[in-house]
Amino acid sequence: MTDEKPFRRAAAAALRGVVDGVGADVSQRVRQELSAARAEGDPHPAQRAAAAALGEVVGGVGQNVSALIRQELGAARSDAVASARAAARGAGLLGGAAAAVHTAGLFIGIAVWQGLGPRIGYARSALLVAGLSGAAAAALASAGSADLSSLKGAAGPRPKRDDRAL
């Protein structure tokens, strides 16, 4: 389980930044509205300024939160792209390694077949090499299948279908 405290601290700092950024604009807007209301002779300049400030706060916070969300989505997107590139490179390297191992196994099999041929006959040595290769393939396939079936979200047995639901 991951520690959520660093995330909460970062989120709180981001929200403080949003509020602080809006706060400077709002205080200036309130001063302007108070001055305008007093100049016009409005009997309730504080209410007029408060209404203007509230609209300014809501609009400013909305814009700042929208910008913050866009920044976070951009950062998440670039992280995902970097991870995908690293995974693709790793998969390519593993594919190359598999091809090299296949070639090495082929030539080792040929060498064993040629080495055993004069002693037990070429046909029998070919059958022996093929049997050993088949047994190794069966063991690896069984182990790989067991590993994959233990993964979460792996396709398991299909649920029973009810013909009435169709």
Helix (H) or strand (E) holding 115: helix 45-120
Going by C-beta distance under 8 Å and a sequence separation of 6 or more, which residues neighbour residue 107? Answer: none
Residue 126 pLDDT more than 80? yes
Distance separating alpha carbons of residues 133 and 139, to the nearest angstrom: 10
Sign for the CA dihedral angle at 124, 130, 136, 142 comes to negative
Q: Is the model's pTM score more than 0.85? A: no
pLDDT band at 8 (very low <50, low <70, confident <90, very high): low
**CB 96 within 8 Å of CB 65:** no
What's the whole-number mean pLDDT along residues 135-158? 76
What tokens does 8 get?
A: 């909460």
Task: Provide the token pair at 51.
Answer: 């209404």
CA distance 123 to 116: 10
CA-wise closest residue to 20 among 61, 55, 78, 50? 61
pLDDT at 103: 92
- Give the residue with greater pLDDT, 122 vs 61: 122
25-39 mean pLDDT: 69
Amino acid 57: pLDDT: 67
Q: Torsions phi, psi of 74, nearest 5?
A: -65, -40
Percent of the chain with pLDDT over 90: 12
Write out pLDDT tens, residues 55-114: 666 777 777 788 888 888 888 898 888 888 888 888 888 888 989 998 998 999 999 999
Distance CA 11, CA 9 (A): 5
d(CA 129, CA 112): 7
DSSP H or E stretch at residue 20 = helix 5-40
User: Is residue 164 pLDDT above 50, yes or no?
Assistant: yes
